[in-house]
Amino acid sequence: MGRGRAEDSPASTGADDTVRSAVTRFVLLSVLAALLLAGVAVVVAERIARERALDSARAVGTALATRLVSPLVDGDLREGDPAARERLASVMRNRMQDGSIRHVKVWAADGTVLWSNQARLVGKRFDLPDDVRGLLGSSRARVEVSELSREENYAEQDEGPLLEVYVGARDDDGQEMVVEAYLATEQMERDAEKVVVSLVGLAVGSLGMFLVVVMPLAVALGRRVRRAERGRAVLLRHVLLASELERRRIAAALHDGVIQDLAGLGYALPAVARSLPPEPEAPGVRRHLDHFTDLVRDDVTKLRRLMSDIHPPDLAGAGLAESVQELVASESAAAGVESRVTLAPDLELTPDAARLAYRVVREGVRNVVKHAGAQHLDVDVRRRDGQVLVRVCDDGRGPARPQGDDTEGHLGLRLLHDAVHDLGGRLDLTATSPAGTELSAAFPEALVTG
């Protein structure tokens, strides 16, 4: 019977929600990781594609300069012979007809354009950059994505960015020169797209496979955690029930045994005192009996208070409001503190929640009376959205480090903090403005299931 209720109880539902929330967070974080990994893959792919495009452009430019241009550049072309220019132009037209090479320039060492597919540039002279001039007579190449912003690029500026390759070479007569070629970026973009698709597919696919493998494990782990939480809740419930039974047994033993005996003794001692002979015949005995009577009655009061602590009064139904009102009234009156209690008379909590709420109020009120030196005391107990909220406020000295005998109160707060925390709640002790202390507790009404 208990098990069926446990699986449908609010606490059990909360455990299910916790597991479901944990699995959901795991999935969302995994998706976020996949997106982040995809973004990184895009950046890496673009960089790889760029490097591949630059390497490819370097190879194309080098082959163009060494295999096609150099053998056709000689003294006749340098002198402007039309036939020599036409031979080179014919070869270049055949090579450039697929559109991969947009423009070609052949530079002399002094910056003169010896030949270009753009005839208007031939014979013009421009200043060669130092890094290009350093290629003269070598077989090295330099490649970059050009924005076509140099002076000699005025004819290409409407074509957008191009891959620009400079290759050092020597002509057929051994003269130093530089061959410049402009390549389209479409191939680089296609390569980038291929690399991006490959890397992103690999990254996302790998993570997807990882999720396929790990998700069942995560769900199984969540279920194990849920079962462990339910087992812990049942165990905690049994512990609380055993503790409650033991408290009742101790309280009954005190009430029916020691307290009754001491109460009887408290009534008997005055009768003994009255039966004594006059004071001269029993010097001091009457005074000692009166003192013993006061001690016994004081001990009875303390034992009854201890019995109330061990086993609080009936807190079911309206008993919580009545018990809190009585507790606050008696404690504050004894200390001369004005008090106010905010608690709906019809507030009904589960037995476990009612006992914990009463314990928080009792600990807070007694700490105020014993340590705070307050003039006013406010107690507030309410229920909101399945949570029990308890506040004990005062206008005293505020929270301070324990000194001397004060450690008893702080030990009680530490024990209370642990109890509230173990039952899924939170206990805070904070200073208020301009003076005073607030002890606040929040815990679920459905503390445990059994």
| 177: three-class secondary structure by DSSP | strand
Q: List phi, psi (to 5°) of 112.
A: -85, 135
- Last residue within a domain, chosen from 152, 184, 216: 184
DSSP string for 371-396: II--SEEEEEEEEETTEEEEEEEE-S
Is 79 part of a structural domain of the chain?
yes
Q: Are 34 and 207 in contact (CB under 8 A)?
A: yes
DSSP string for 183-204: E-SHHHHHHHHHHHHHHHHHHH
> Taking 90 as the threshold, does the pLDDT of residue 176 lie above it?
yes
Is 21 part of a structural domain of the chain?
no
The more confidently predicted of residues 137 and 107 is: 107
Domain coverage including residue 429: 317-450
**Strand intervals (E) in 271-375:** 338-342
Q: Computed from CA positions of residues 110, 116, 121, 127, in that sequence, does the dihedral angle turn out positive or negative?
A: negative
Q: Are 365 and 342 in contact (CB under 8 A)?
A: no
CATH of the domain at 429: 3.30.565.10
* Amino acid found at 329: A
- Last residue within a domain, chosen from 184, 208, 229: 184
Look over the chain and give the mean of its residue pLDDT values, rounded to a whole number: 79
- Last residue within a domain, chosen from 184, 201, 236: 184
Q: Burial letters for 44-54: b for 16+ Cβ neighbours within 10 Å, e otherwise?
A: ebbebbbebbb
Is 166 part of a structural domain of the chain?
yes
pLDDT value for 271: 75
CATH of the domain at 124: 3.30.450.20
pLDDT value for 27: 76
Is 29 part of a structural domain of the chain?
no
Q: How far is Cα 325 from Cα 340, in angstroms, rounded to an integer? A: 9
H-helix or E-strand containing 222? Answer: helix 186-253
Q: Burial level of 394, CB count in 10 A (0-12/13-18/19+)?
A: buried
Q: Computed from CA positions of residues 281, 284, 287, 292, in that sequence, does the dihedral angle turn out positive or negative?
A: negative
In angstroms, the Cα distances linking 418 to 14, 238, 276, 426, 428 are 21, 18, 55, 9, 11
pTM value surpassing 0.85: no
The more confidently predicted of residues 277 and 94 is: 94
The more confidently predicted of residues 1 and 152 is: 152
The more confidently predicted of residues 358 and 272 is: 358
Average pLDDT, stretch 343-350? 81
Is 56 part of a structural domain of the chain?
no
The β-bridge partners of 383 are: 388
Count CA atoms closer than 13 A to 110's CA, side-chain side.
6
The more confidently predicted of residues 16 and 54 is: 54
Mention every residue, 6+ apart, whose C-beta is less than 8 A from residue 30: 207, 210, 211
Q: List phi, psi (to 5°) of 39.
A: -60, -45
pLDDT value for 450: 40
Number of domains in the chain: 2
Is 134 part of a structural domain of the chain?
yes
> Taking 60 as the threshold, does the pLDDT of residue 5 lie above it?
no
Is 17 part of a structural domain of the chain?
no
Query: For the sheet containing 141-146, what is the strand order?
Result: 113-116, 101-108, 176-183, 162-170, 141-146
pLDDT value for 167: 94
> Taking 50 as the threshold, does the pLDDT of residue 358 lie above it?
yes
> Taking 70 as the threshold, does the pLDDT of residue 389 lie above it?
yes
Is 203 part of a structural domain of the chain?
no
pLDDT tens per residue, range 435-444: 788 999 998 8
Mention every residue, 6+ apart, whose C-beta is less than 8 A from residue 275: none
The more confidently predicted of residues 139 and 266 is: 139
pLDDT value for 400: 57
The β-bridge partners of 103 are: 182
